[in-house]
Amino acid sequence: MNLRLPSETVRLLIPALSLTALLAAVFWLQPRAMSYIGLNLLFNLAVPIALATIAQMLIMAVNNLDLSMGAFVSFVACVAATFLHDTPLLGWLILLAAIAAYAALGVIIHLRDLPSIVVTLGMSFVWTGLAVLLLPAPGGQAPEWARWLMTAKPPLVPMAIVASILIALVGHLIVMRSSFGVLVRGVGGNERSVERAGWSVLAARAGAYGLAGAFAVAAGIALVGLTTSADANIALRYTLLSIAGVILGGGEFVGGRVSPIGAVIGALTLTLAGSFLSFLRISPDWQIGAQGAILVIVLALRLLLNRLENRERRR
């Protein structure tokens, strides 16, 4: 019996604390944000970012990195605002094909042992190209149900919060509690030992990519539900935001150490950083910079915590 928290919980501590501190600061600056509508406004745009972050996290769980996330989410948004609205059946078929393409990428990357950064870099051009073909100029219309879903007003807790908790729970169940999730993280931890244990690393990687594609599709649809129309460049920022979100949430680039709950918290923190500055009356010019600064501060905190933990262990 000892009172030490499991390391999984410790890893979540810093992201959770940073989000709480930031939220407290926002409430202190602007007490009116502490309401149903206020919270919804603060976190509305976090929902698609959280979904994209979970997608990026799945790729990072198998030691790869997806530089096409933003382009892919933009592409999905364009499909959702055109085909999914006009001819739903065809729209769903296209999105299914896109998910299959993601799984196929996983297969190719694994079979030929390609650097995922370069392959996804190439794919980012492809997705943007397809999106430009679909919507050369901003436009289209969100499917009614997506619009309804994103603007729904559940009792007591605003939609943005409900959705974030749901995303975190689903991610947690899949990645931390299912045998598929264990396999995926195992590939990130030690590919060879997973293979020797008789599992198919190829299937695990393809599965992780396919699932990431599915989450990214959800992100694109959620984004269109919020913005009502789409544009080929609508989500290009998501590539970098999703990577930053995973890292903020306690994930690592290698070793299969990821945390779905942390990833959602990371996405929420990044979204909140922008609002925090505008409440401080600092010019919106510095919004992106604040996201960078928060990233640096949280990583510095994590380094500190790791050092403390190591010292404890050595004792």
Partner 1 sequence: MKAVHLLAAKPWIWSWLAAAVVWTATVAVTGGAGAFGLTQAALTFAAFSVIVGTGQMFVITLGPGNIDLSVPATMTLAGTVALKLMNVDNGMIAPGLVVALAIGIAVGVGNYGLIKLLRIPPIIATLAMSFIVQSAAIWTNRGLRIKPPSLLAEFTTSSTFAIPNMAIVALLVAVIAWVLLEKSLYGRWILAIGQSMAAARMAGIPVDGTRFATYVLCAVLAALCGYLLACFSGGAALNMGAEYLLMSIAVVVIGGTSVAGGDSNVPGIWGASLFLFLVVSMLNTYGLGAGFRLIMTGLIIIGVIVVASGRRARQP
Q: Does 18 bind partner 1 (CB under 8 A)?
A: no
Q: Where are the alpha helices (DSSP H) in 238-286?
A: 238-248, 260-279
Using the rule CB under 8 A, which residue among 112, 153, 192, 313 binds partner 1? 112
Q: Which two tokens stand for residue 116?
A: 């995922």
Whichever of 119 and 272 has its CB closer to partner 1, that residue is 119
Q: Which residues contact 226 (CB under 8 A, 6 or more apart)?
A: 44, 45, 47, 48, 150
Q: Does 133 bind partner 1 (CB under 8 A)?
A: yes
| Residue among 58, 38, 53, 24 nearest 268 (CA) | 53
Taking contact as CB under 8 A, which single stretch among the options 116-124, 140-148, 191-199, 217-225 is the one that binds partner 1? Answer: 116-124
Whichever of 67 and 218 has its CB closer to partner 1, that residue is 67
How far is residue 124's CA from residue 136's CA, in Å, rounded to a whole number? 17
The CB-of-253 to partner 1 minimum distance in angstroms stands at: 5
Query: Which residue is listed with tokens 């992201």?
Result: 15
Taking contact as CB under 8 A, which single stretch among the options 106-114, 150-158, 206-214, 261-269 is the one that binds partner 1? Answer: 106-114
Whichever of 166 and 300 has its CB closer to partner 1, that residue is 300
DSSP code, position 256: S
Rounded-to-10 torsion of CA 175, 43, 238, 225: 90
Query: Which residue is listed with tokens 């679909």?
Result: 134
Cβ(250)–Cβ(44) under 8 Å? no
**Residue 270, Cβ density class (10 Å: 0-12 exposed, 13-18 middle, ≥19 buried):** buried
Task: Pick out residues in 56-75 that bind partner 1 (CB under 8 A).
Answer: 65, 67
Whichever of 157 and 299 has its CB closer to partner 1, that residue is 299
| Residue among 25, 81, 98, 66 nearest 221 (CA) | 81
The CB-of-185 to partner 1 minimum distance in angstroms stands at: 19
Q: Does 149 bind partner 1 (CB under 8 A)?
A: no
Using the rule CB under 8 A, which residue among 130, 187, 226, 230 binds partner 1? 130
Using the rule CB under 8 A, which residue among 62, 77, 244, 264 binds partner 1? 244
Cα torsion angle, 147, 26, 51, 237, sign = positive
Whichever of 54 and 290 has its CB closer to partner 1, that residue is 290
Q: Does 247 bind partner 1 (CB under 8 A)?
A: yes
Q: Does 117 bind partner 1 (CB under 8 A)?
A: yes
Q: Does 132 bind partner 1 (CB under 8 A)?
A: yes
Task: Pick out residues in 270-309 that bind partner 1 (CB under 8 A).
Answer: 283, 285-293, 295-296, 299-300, 303
Rounded-to-10 torsion of CA 24, 30, 31, 37: -100
**Residues of the shown chain interacting with partner 1 in the complex, contacts defined by CB under 8 A:** 65, 67, 108, 112-115, 117-119, 121-133, 136, 240, 243-244, 247, 253, 283, 285-293, 295-296, 299-300, 303
